[in-house]
């Protein structure tokens, strides 16, 4: 049995939680599905599935292989779709969801080039800092800053990793000074994004040491651009992903604070509904966005 089939069988077993149901979905015998799983585990020299008489669950190695295998299989399906007739002249409405900051800074500048290349594709951008249900809202793809999707009906493709930084304006730092460690943040005015995970606590790492501090913001908002504007106006120290404030840092409008302490990083992914045949308009835009990010070397800039 070829490796791609083994991966497909394993993904179906993981998603159905059953070898029998996976075999039915793939129109193969239960014994063939079992042999495929056994062959994969022997080749990897790792137990991927924990079996009991009543229950089937993934091991930690199985969870990791499931995420990577799902991305690989999606890529293979995309490659097959690329030779379909629809790829020659994609058309229709492409609905994209992303945060205000991502739309303003990284999406809207790219859309004109894409529509010039594929004039039959109409683009609708849904701006939201919360995550839409892709299927329910008819979203073709979304940009999200989380590592994995719990919903098996959603496939992700990694776009870039970004640091989160503390930064403030030169005017604020001239008046208040710069904190040197997490304890000193209590003496400063903070600007906090309320949709971040555990937003009123900041977790720092340095030289193997981890410190979590509860924080209170002088200004809190669910919109990153409000936080950014307040920092530019000298109101306080913000905590934001580098992709939002990179240009401000380069120009000197904002200055890094406590840069030797690391906040948890974010993984920026493209999320899209899992389909056997991905529409050409969606696949082409995904490839276009990935290519533009690679050419701009964003990850290297955002993780420096």
Q: What is the pLDDT of residues 41-100, one digit of tens each?
A: 998 899 999 877 667 889 999 989 988 888 888 777 766 665 554 556 788 899 999 999
pLDDT at position 187 over 60: yes
Q: Whole-angstrom Cα distance, residue 6 to residue 63?
A: 15
> Cβ distance 26 to 6 under 8 Å?
no
Average pLDDT, the chain: 89
pLDDT at position 236 over 60: yes
**Of 285, 292, 270, which is closest to residue 117 (Cα–Cα)?**
285
SS3 169: coil
Q: Whole-angstrom Cα distance, residue 174 to residue 180?
A: 15
pLDDT at position 154 over 90: no
Q: 249 or 78: which carries more pLDDT confidence? A: 249
Q: Whole-angstrom Cα distance, residue 216 to residue 186?
A: 8
Q: What are the structural domain ranges in the chain?
A: 3-81, 89-161+266-297, 164-257
- The domain over range 89-161+266-297 is classified in CATH as 3.40.640.10: no
Q: Whole-angstrom Cα distance, residue 223 to residue 4?
A: 43
Q: 22 or 252: which carries more pLDDT confidence? A: 252
CATH class of 164-257: alpha beta
Give me the long-range contacts of 289-293 (CB less than 8 A, separation at least 24).
289/110, 289/159, 290/157, 290/159, 292/110, 293/159, 293/160
E strand intervals along 48-199: 49-51, 56-58, 92-98, 121-127, 141-144, 154-162, 164-168, 190-193
State in Å, rounded, how far the first CA of the chain is from the last one.
Answer: 44
If you average pLDDT over residues 99-105, what whole number do you get?
93
- pLDDT score recorded for residue 210: 94
Q: Do domains 89-161+266-297 and 164-257 have the same CATH topology?
A: yes
If you average pLDDT over residues 214-218, what whole number do you get?
94
pLDDT-based confidence at 149, cuts 50/70/90? low
CATH class of 3-81: mainly alpha
């Amino acid at each position: 049995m070829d490796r791609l089939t083994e991966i497909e069988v394993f993904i179906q077993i993981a998603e159905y939680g059953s070898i029998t149901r996976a075999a039915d979905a793939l129109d193969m015998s239960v014994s063939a599905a079992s042999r495929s799983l056994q062959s994969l585990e022997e080749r990897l020299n790792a137990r991927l599935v924990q079996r009991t008489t009543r229950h089937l669950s993934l091991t930690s190695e199985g969870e990791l292989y499931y995420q990577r295998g799902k991305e690989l299989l999606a890529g293979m399906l995309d490659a097959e779709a690329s030779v379909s007739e629809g790829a020659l002249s994609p058309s229709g409405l492409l609905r994209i969801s992303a945060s205000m900051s991502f739309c303003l800074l990284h999406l809207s500048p790219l859309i004109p080039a894409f529509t010039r290349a594929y004039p039959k594709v109409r683009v609708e951008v849904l701006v939201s800092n919360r995550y839409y249900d892709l299927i329910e809202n008819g979203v073709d793809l979304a940009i999200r800053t989380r590592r994995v999707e719990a919903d098996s009906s959603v496939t992700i493709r990694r776009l870039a990793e970004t640091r989160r930084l503390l930064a403030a304006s030169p005017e604020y730092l001239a008046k208040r000074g710069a904190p040197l460690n997490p304890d000193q943040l209590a003496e400063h005015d903070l600007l906090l994004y309320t949709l971040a995970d555990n937003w009123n606590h900041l977790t720092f790492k340095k030289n193997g040491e981890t410190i979590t501090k509860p924080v209170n913001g002088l200004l809190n908002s669910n919109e990153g651009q409000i936080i950014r504007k307040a920092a530019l106006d000298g109101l306080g120290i913000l905590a934001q992903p580098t992709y939002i404030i990179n240009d401000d840092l380069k120009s000197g409008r904002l200055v890094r604070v406590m840069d030797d302490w690391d906040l948890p990083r974010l993984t920026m992914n493209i999320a899209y509904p899992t389909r056997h045949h991905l529409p050409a308009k969606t696949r082409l835009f995904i490839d276009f966005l990935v290519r533009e990010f690679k050419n701009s070397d964003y990850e290297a800039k955002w993780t420096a």
